[in-house]
Amino acid sequence: MKKIIFATSNEGKMREIRQILADLPMEVLSMKEAGMDVDIVEDGKTFEENARIKAETIRDHIRAAGEGSALSAFREAIVLADDSGLEIDWLNKEPGVYSARYMGEDTSYDIKNAHLIRRLDGVPDEKRTARFVCVIAAALPEGGTKTCRGTIEGRIGYSPAGENGFGYDPIFYVPEFGCTTAQLPPERKNQVSHRGKALQAMKEQIRSLL
Ligand code: ITT
């Protein structure tokens, strides 16, 4: 069976990715499962640039592996990567591409989320608009990289709510559903989310390659 290596170390993303890609006739492995521990320098200025950097770094790492090494089993694999984040309009689209690094990579999301809510203190509903953005890059084994983008529009809530999802989900309120993305059942989030949309579009491209 053809393989996909997903170039992410984020467990929350990986959980969603597995569900969304479950109907592809391909084996989906995380970097860790493929035995890779590569430090990726995300120095792009856009989601597209960073998604490409992650996917291409891992593809090139596999290509560089010696004949007969464990990694050479993945030479024909498609390497996917996800670069995503939260854009808050009132904060000039912060934290944006710095979403994971906002207030420090090791700071808990309880603290990050409470801080963002405080920064919007006194801001009325209609100005609390925000979106999640996700760009999926696919670095193909024969060379070349494709990207697909997905977004979901919402507003920053007044207090965190919900236990599902990860990261900024508890403060991302979607008026259409009357709840945060952390309050949606995981299958529902995957149908409507930035990641769900970007990966559906990428799945179509991958199917056409099979
Ligand atoms: P990898 O680079 O290893 O994939 P990362 O967490 O560093 O993991 P990003 O640089 O793409 O990934 O940062 C994405 C951040 O955006 C993520 O850590 C969350 O803080 C936030 N984010 C993205 N998608 C989200 C979602 O569906 N729900 C909540 N927060 C999300």
Domain that holds residue 168: 2-209
pLDDT < 50 regions, the chain:
none
Ligand 1 pocket check for 150: Cβ under 6 Å:
no
Q: Which residues contact 103 (CB under 8 A, 6 or more apart)?
A: 111, 112, 115
Domain count, the chain: 1
Q: What is the pTM of this model?
A: 0.97
Q: How far apart are CA 58 and CA 77, in angstroms?
A: 11
Q: What's the CATH number where 129 sits? A: 3.90.950.10
Q: How far apart are CA 169 and CA 67, in angstroms?
A: 43
**What pLDDT is recorded for position 1?**
83
Instruction: Please give the mean pLDDT across all residues of the chain.
Output: 96
Token pair of 20, please? 């969304």
Ligand 1 pocket check for 13: Cβ under 6 Å:
yes
Render pLDDT for 56-100 as a digit per residue (tens, 0 to 9). 999 999 999 888 888 999 999 999 999 999 999 999 999 999 999
d(CA 13, ligand 1 centre) in Å = 7
**What pLDDT is recorded for position 181?**
98
